[in-house]
Amino acid sequence: MIAPSRLHLDGDALVANWKLLDRMSGAAACGAAVKADGYGLGAREVAKRLAAAGCRDFFVASWAEGLALADLGVAVSVLHGVRAEDPPGAPNVRPVLVSAAQVARWKPTGLVCDVMVDTGMNRLGVSAEEIAGGLLDGLAIETLLSHLVCADEDSPMNARQQAGFAALRGRTSAKRMSLANSAGIALGTDYAFDLTRPGIALYGGVQHPGHAGIRQVVTPEAQVLQRRRVRAGETVGYNATFTAPADIDVAILNIGYADGYLRCFSGRGLARAGDVVLPVLGRVSMDLVAIGVDAVPGLGEGDWVAMEYALPATSALSGLSQYELLTGLGKRFDRVWF
């Protein structure tokens, strides 16, 4: 059955974004972060498209997210590592060990792994001191990772983390080193090491002026449920926050905050019918949104409109981060690749 709302996903833009980030990564390989179900787009469909374009290294958060991609024939690294409850040794799936306890858990398997080293985030990772003390001796490490704290800002912390990470080259059995996320790639090839790990920029996020050229991938679209006339002086939606200044036509759309189109778009969001921009009127409801449609007399029940969703502008408008705008998109949307 076709849902009354869908995510219009631009597969060419996704691949073009990866190729741009791959070029920006210089001699380093370019991987892809596909955690949180590919930032809400659908991890399998994203990974298939990027693998076909040449991407070989994928990053997810949990073991379950990793197992879901194990049959794709690409390397999947699990950023949260391995818990006592996780089964070791899935083909193509390896942990990014993030603590001494995880290292102790993995060492007896003799299997290949990645390791996260903390260089300032104080979130996940072993310390440089633990590495100097021999914690990683005897591990078969494919990639040593660290993660930038302020890559989307011009902060002295970036160079400090880069230098701290570079000093670990040759100190472990790791074949490769990886530091940069999307914004880190834009800081220059000093930050690329051997492998980069973009996420948000693949999906249209712009976190740095160096990301000019990144294309929008995701556009939520909703079907019109009904068109109605609202008389001058009447109000639209919960709490009567919009009053019609004249007789107007309104279209009610099959999308709402339960889909991740949150209440911050009330009275401020925009939709598009072809090239015509249409305002969201009044409160966003759980399952419905009203837009003003006087500019499109032919628009009616069953027609589709696109919600304005360019990530940088929509983030500025809503106060939500570009990451939240994607990962909050709900399960009711059909995800349709074009």
Ligand X SMILES: *Cc1c(COP(=O)(O)O)cnc(C)c1O
| Catalytic center residues | 35, 238
Least gap, CB of 321 to ligand X (angstroms): 10
Least gap, CB of 232 to ligand X (angstroms): 47
Site string for ligand X, 154-183 (x = CB under 6 A): ---------------------------xx-
Interface region with ligand X, contact rule CB under 6 A, candidates 103-111, 195-203, 221-229, 300-308: 195-203
Q: Which residues partner with 9 through β-bridges? A: 218, 337
The reply to whether 223 sits near ligand X by the rule CB under 6 A is no
Centroid of chain to Cα 205 = 8
Burial 124-152 (b: 16+ CB within 10 A, else e): bbbebebbeeebbeebebbbbbbbbbbbb
Q: Which of 170, 29, 195, 12 is nearest to 96 (CA)?
A: 195
Cα 31 to Cα 11, 17, 291: the distances in Å are: 17, 12, 40
For ligand X, the closer CB: 144 or 200? 200
Site string for ligand X, 119-138 (x = CB under 6 A): --------------------
Helix (H/G/I), strand (E/B), else coil: 29: strand
Interface region with ligand X, contact rule CB under 6 A, candidates 84-92, 155-163, 196-204, 266-274: 196-204
Q: How many CA atoms lie within 13 A of 33 on its CB side?
A: 27
The reply to whether 38 sits near ligand X by the rule CB under 6 A is no
Interface region with ligand X, contact rule CB under 6 A, candidates 132-140, 167-175, 198-206, 247-255: 198-206
The reply to whether 81 sits near ligand X by the rule CB under 6 A is no
Least gap, CB of 87 to ligand X (angstroms): 23
Q: Which residue has the tokens 């693949």?
A: 202
Q: Estimate the crossing angle of helix 11-24 against helix 43-53, to 10 degrees.
A: 60
Query: Could you say which of 24, 33, 75, 82 contacts ligand X (CB under 6 A)?
Result: 33
Q: Which residues partner with 114 through β-bridges? A: 96
- Site of interaction with ligand X (CB under 6 A): 33, 35, 79, 147, 181-182, 197-201
